[in-house]
Structure 1
């Protein structure tokens, strides 16, 4: 069996490196490359971790990614399990390196220890990334891995390696920010429409309205490896005052509001690639957009979001105190949605429980339970004002009973609030939420 495997690996390397060269063994080449994708990717990974030349390594990496693209979902799951089991660390090497460091903790010993504690799959992923166009394919591979983790939680260890490498490859220094307008290439406009998930666009006219130069802006981060696919983009409305509902922004006719605007509203922020989940660059985008808008339109004095509160309904339904149970039942009924008096009667309770959810409730690691709150508070914003009802769309009603929130970015306070949040999990919040917490 071992001899057969070695023979297959030899044939595979020969087949890959002969591709594109004049050779009388084309039939053998095609035969080797016609093996099942699961065999080809296993062989390619073994070869990549061995000692081969740079040109051969690029060719083998390309074949590995081609084979991966042919795998079915169950085969991808087994591939990830192989990465977990066969491309980890060597315990004996770690013990030896640690012993050497413990005896003589110099720089060389630290380097040796660092080398052996890094899982072999990180080296494998770096070598896969040698193939032309490999980076987007590895981002897509991580998307598949995140889905596979739902079936096998032990694969989370592999995700740590992907996250570590992608955070390096998508470092802020490699990103470029662009303002997107109606004259942008069609490929980019199509991507914007495709990846808008907060407030779905209804067609080209809707996109054109969101790019209107008088009172709208759209900015995106791009990476050289992903071409015309924006990694993250933010949509901005220029308004007079801080809005408390999304419908007037989405349905407002185009006007000449720019000169009168004193507020920039970040009303939709979208990450495009699921495989980059957890790779943080949204904070850099917002700060750069604030700087850009401040330079272009110095009359803008206020920078806020109009954000969803996606975890509120689920959290409220899970509370076991009487006050929360009563409110959850009342909001699940439909009688309030078209009854102004009923809305006014419910508002104090909604604001009180929502303030508790945003400011007090904690999730994993002591961070705020709401994911959007974690994002903006971690960027240095404050929870400024709760708005209810702010979004009556079906998805918003299901996730948050129509609740929205403004997060306020005050330029002089961003860094201090960011540090307080990271250091002490301090949730900066405005007077409205402070008053609601007392009720």
Structure 2
């Protein structure tokens, strides 16, 4: 039986087909969903039947995307894709047709497929329990290694084999990355999907190991399609025009990305670098399209001013540490005069954190400074509400040094002492400090854009990558202490 006839016979229940085996489309060219099928954009109600109960049922509840019969048929075909009795070629054909059918499915029906992959392809619990007992009994004996191998094999789920079946296809990696990205918004409200998500993260960590990634420079001479992706994926400072992107790719700039051979022309992460003769304290001149290019002969400092991940489906797979190291090595070889490697980074969590912790920060503020702060905002003693209201008037902060100083103290405390589950509270700080950098300097009105004001009252921060101290500072962070420059230490409460 051919792959097409096989899938048409069974998986036609996943998506509506006409008599010729083609997807049923409406007048607008969209996939037609049978009345009452629940195949709309909604991913599912807040309360619903467990998947196993649906599989054992005879009738579909009104809000469910697939009927029990359809669900069972799709499960059978997913299992048939990894049937050990078929060849790799036939398994690949079946997986290919499943990908094509999935592309035409509604979100609700895709979600049913995710649930099947997550819940119905688990390791055999009896085999796991038996292998675990044998391994425990063999510890310390000559049979320990063999028992460990058997235990590891028992814990490998059929789900992994299913993912591998998809991955070998030419577009299989792209399919899986997009599938996981689409699934992300539903993970918090449906824990049943977590098994599939974690399995995919584990597999991606192997498939996207940095040893398989290629560092490429992105320049104005790169293919237009690649430059367009740079514009699309820029997540830190929005690219406003072609003149803007050309400025970021000028002679005194460098842009590098990591690429995977199975996703050609698609950067997984990219970094934008400015080569200048000082540590930048404001993003404005770096983004000034009219500014003349810097003299590369005088450049002593590489400023990493934007790092953007492009694939939401690769969340949890870390590239940043390796990317920065590779870029530093590349720049050092091209420009031997470079001595300093630092970032000019946003502080995206500052405003929301301070909104919740202003009262605590006021308690930590010395009494004399608190009294000065009260006089500055017009209320003594000042409350959290009074101070936050005054901070909202960004245009007046320059002329109110007391309020400005207090905000800098709070920012230094936030970046240098606030930990959540042992990691820096700010997401950007978590990335750079986790790579071994240190908090070097706070920059007043480093980003006066509406986005910068909204996120961090306009503040930006430099993280310094001292190549001789990266390992030591990473170890220091693991012990719960954040590496900061003396000036930042002095600013903390």
Q: TM-score, normalised by structure 1?
A: 0.88
Equivalents in 2 of 1:49, 1:153: separation in Å? Answer: 25
Shift of 1:116: 1.8
Q: 2:119 touches 2:195 (CA, 8 Å); kept in 1?
A: no
Maintained 8 Å contact 1:15/1:30? no
Aligned twin of 2:340: 302
Matched, 1:328 2:388: yes
Q: What secondary structure, in the 3-state scheme, does the structure 1 residue paired with 2:447 have?
A: coil
1:354 to 399, 411, 417: 411
The alignment status of 1:50 with 2:108, answered yes or no, reads: no
Structure 2 unaligned runs (5+)? 10-16, 25-31, 34-38, 40-65, 364-383
CA contact (8 A) 1:236 1:266 kept: yes
After superposition, the Cα gap between the structure-2 partners of 1:339 and 1:114, relative to the gap in structure 1 and judged at 3 Å, is: closer
In structure 2, the residue matched to 1:23 is none
Q: Could you say which residue in structure 1 is the equivalent of 2:314?
A: 276
Q: Kindly indicate whether the alpha-carbon contact (under 8 Å) linking 1:238 and 1:263 is maintained by their aligned counterparts in 2.
A: yes
| Matched ranges for 1:172-183 at <5 A | 172-183=210-221
Deviation of the 1:256 alpha carbon? 4.1
1:87-139: CA deviations, max 9, x gaps?
Answer: 12221111111122233342222122112222321221111212221101101
Q: Distance in 2 between matches of 1:330 and 1:220?
A: 42
1:384 matches 2:440: yes
State the distance in 1 between where 2:476 and 2:360 align: 31
In structure 1, distance between residues paired with 2:272 and 2:215: 13
Among residues 229, 232, 242, which one is paired with 2:266 in the alignment?
A: 229
Regions of 4+ moved over 4 Å: 10-14, 27-30, 32-41
Q: Please give the alpha-carbon distance, in whole angstroms, between the structure 2 residues aligned to 1:181 and 1:11.
A: 47
Structure 1, unaligned runs of 5 or more: 1-9, 19-26
CA pair 379-233 structure 1, distance change in 2 beyond 3 A: same
Alpha-carbon deviations, 1:205-244, whole Å to 9, x = none? 111111111x111111111011101011000111221111
Structure 2 counterpart SS, 1:279: coil
Give the structure 2 partner of residue 288 of structure 1: 326
Q: How many residues align?
A: 415
Listed as ranges, the matches of 1:395-406 within 5 Å are 395-406=451-462
Answering whether residue 317 of structure 2 is matched by residue 266 of structure 1, we say: no
1:341 aligned onto 2:375: no
Contact between 2:131 and 2:154, CA under 8 Å: does it hold in 1? yes
How big is the alpha-carbon RMSD for the aligned residues of Structure 1 and Structure 2?
Answer: 2.6
2 CA distance for matches of 1:153 and 1:16? Answer: 30
* 8 Å contact from structure 1 (residues 84, 158) kept in 2: yes
* Cα shift at 1:245: 1.2
Residues 33-42 or 397-406, more deviating: 33-42
